[in-house]
Copies of this chain bind each other. A is one copy, B any other.
Amino acid sequence: MAAIIVTIMLIPQSLAYAMLAGLPPATGLYASILPLLAYALFGSSRTLAVGPVAIISLLSANAVGLAHINSGLNVLTLSMTLALLSGMLMLIMGLFKLGFIANLLGRPVVTGFITAAGILIALGQLKHILGIPLGGHNLPELAQGLLQYGRHTHLLTVGVGVISILFLWWARAPLTHVLCRFMSKNSASALSKLAPVSAVIISILLVSNLDLNQHGLKVVGDIPSGLPTLAWPELSGLLVSTLMPSAIMISLIGYVESISVAQTLANKRRQQIDPNHELLGLGAANVASAASGGFAVTGGFSRSVVNYDAGARTPMAGVFTAVGIALASLYLTPYLSLLPKAVLGATIVVAVLTLIEPNEIKFTWKYSKHDFVAMMITIGMVLFVGVEAGVMAGVVTTISLMLWRTSRPHTAVVGPVAGGQHFRNIDRHKVEQFEQVIALRIDESLFFGNVRYLDNQLNELLARNPCIEHLILMASGINHIDSSAVESLLEFNQRLHDQGIKMHLSEVKGPVLDRLQRINFAGQLTGTIYLSQHQAWQELTKPC
């Protein structure tokens, strides 16, 4: 049952995403047969529906478009090579457990990227909906194309496109509401998922009966029927180096997208997802896609949810879907030749507009201005430069902002709350204080990035407290000390010694202490390493 619904959903989607990837429609079907079998064999999710996906198709189209101009090779060969490279990268990441690399893509970057890519994809479909030749990888290029060709807009095409968009949009939510009155919520939702297929069927019937394609309405044209032939795409050194950056991006983004879907669905049934296993599954799917004339694929959100809701409980659902698509490419393709491109464009527009999540953007603005900046830079760069530049800029920004934040750690001079063993910030609480004994709590791991800042903080602290004899560094917030920081601490210890001040540590965590012992830190320290801040305070402030 799940397989039938997903198959019906997948037919228009696979045709549409093939178009988005700049390829003949049949390749979309090919990318939905073997990859599903490969994933069923190697993947770990029981409900993930693998196949062509909007974002990945866009990335593929961009990469291949550039490589096509430079190498002169045909677009399909390049797309297959790109899928092969992406698949191999995923397999390598899976085998060597390198999935953590995808951790670099923080949520602000992913959300920003998907939002902006969704906008670009939707605008890119104006080409099919207005019936004009429009190209471009970013807003300025699209705008330029629109200015140049806008007056050639084909009215019949616009009509078909706009009506399709309105119908598909209406089918998403309002239709489901209406249907809910007559049947269960699940059936209503499943039925509304048939809207794209209905649009396809109705538009084909209209075109064939009214000969609309004779009036300038562009249709997808002949699709060869039959199963994909197996062939290995070309792989030369030059081609690999040209496509590698895009392959890295596709493998990382494809993985991030897919794993989050798989994890969400698995958690609902208390199942486990093994990320490295998942990489193997996706890698195998892409290699299979490359070998059977397809393009880059990954786990799609909407189809997986449908799969889950329709009750898919084993990977066999994927196998049956593959059989369904295979049957479609054997027997249905002759009927698809009259399908208007505007309808496919409308399918894409409606699908990607749901990718834009204003709530997520609002949430980030409220929670963290740093993360919001990273998100906006990602969105801006994707829209105005391109998708790859956007992701790169986003990653660099998030890492930089993280370094910036950790480079200025929060510190607080602390003292004991009267009579107790609790030590609190002297600026916020009423605590005991001594002129000769100062305790400073550092709320961050010490590493190369904050060594100099802390050194300044400590120097200022000393300048403010001329009577100081003992300095206690309270290390409860320090999870790690790297070698830059430990040398700096030793130097500081030496400088304090020259000034007749002793330096002590307290509440050092086990793993940190183990490491300090390797270089006999305690032996070089002028003071003592105390287990608890309370103990240090008692010892150092008692009258002698």
- Residues of A whose CB lies within 8 Å of any CB of B are 100, 102-109, 259, 263-264, 267-268, 270, 272, 275, 363-364, 366-368, 370-371, 398-399, 402-410, 428, 443-445, 447-453, 455-456, 459, 463, 476-477, 479-480, 482-484, 486-488, 491, 495, 498-499, 509-511, 515, 518-519
Q: Nearest Cβ distance between residue A401 and chain B, in whole angstroms? A: 9
Q: Nearest Cβ distance between residue A477 and chain B, in whole angstroms? A: 6
Indicate if the CB atoms of B103 and A450 lie closer than 8 Å: yes
Q: Nearest Cβ distance between residue A63 and chain B, in whole angstroms? A: 24
Whether A451 touches B487, Cβ cut-off 8 Å, given contacts A368-B515, A443-B509, A519-B366, is no
Residue in A106, A109, A515 with the greatest tally of chain B CB atoms within 10 Å = A106
Indicate if the CB atoms of B367 and A486 lie closer than 8 Å: yes
Indicate if the CB atoms of B515 and A103 lie closer than 8 Å: no
Q: Nearest Cβ distance between residue A462 and chain B, in whole angstroms? A: 8
Q: Nearest Cβ distance between residue A125 and chain B, in whole angstroms? A: 30
Bound-complex Cα distance A509 to B100 (A): 28
Q: Nearest Cβ distance between residue A181 and chain B, in whole angstroms? A: 28
Bound-complex Cα distance A263 to B451 (A): 13
Indicate if the CB atoms of B368 and A103 lie closer than 8 Å: no
Whether A409 touches B267, Cβ cut-off 8 Å, given contacts A106-B448, A402-B447, A447-B402, is no
CB neighbours of A403 from chain B (8 A): 103-104, 399
Set B107, B428, B447: member contacting A487, Cβ < 8 A: B107
Bound-complex Cα distance A56 to B456 (A): 26
In the complex, besides A105-B448, A107-B483, A368-B482, 10 extra interface pairs with C-beta distance below 8 angstroms are: A100-B452, A104-B403, A106-B449, A108-B483, A363-B483, A366-B519, A402-B447, A405-B480, A409-B479, A477-B477
CB neighbours of A272 from chain B (8 A): 459, 463
Indicate if the CB atoms of A270 and B371 lie closer than 8 Å: no
Q: Provide a sorted-by-A list of 28 A–B residue pairs whose CB atoms are within 8 angstroms.
A: A100-B452, A103-B407, A103-B450, A103-B451, A103-B452, A103-B453, A104-B449, A105-B448, A106-B448, A106-B449, A106-B482, A107-B448, A107-B487, A107-B488, A108-B483, A108-B484, A363-B483, A364-B483, A366-B519, A367-B483, A367-B515, A368-B483, A371-B482, A406-B445, A409-B479, A410-B479, A428-B510, A443-B511
Whether A267 touches B459, Cβ cut-off 8 Å, given contacts A367-B483, A443-B479, is yes
Bound-complex Cα distance A263 to B456 (A): 10
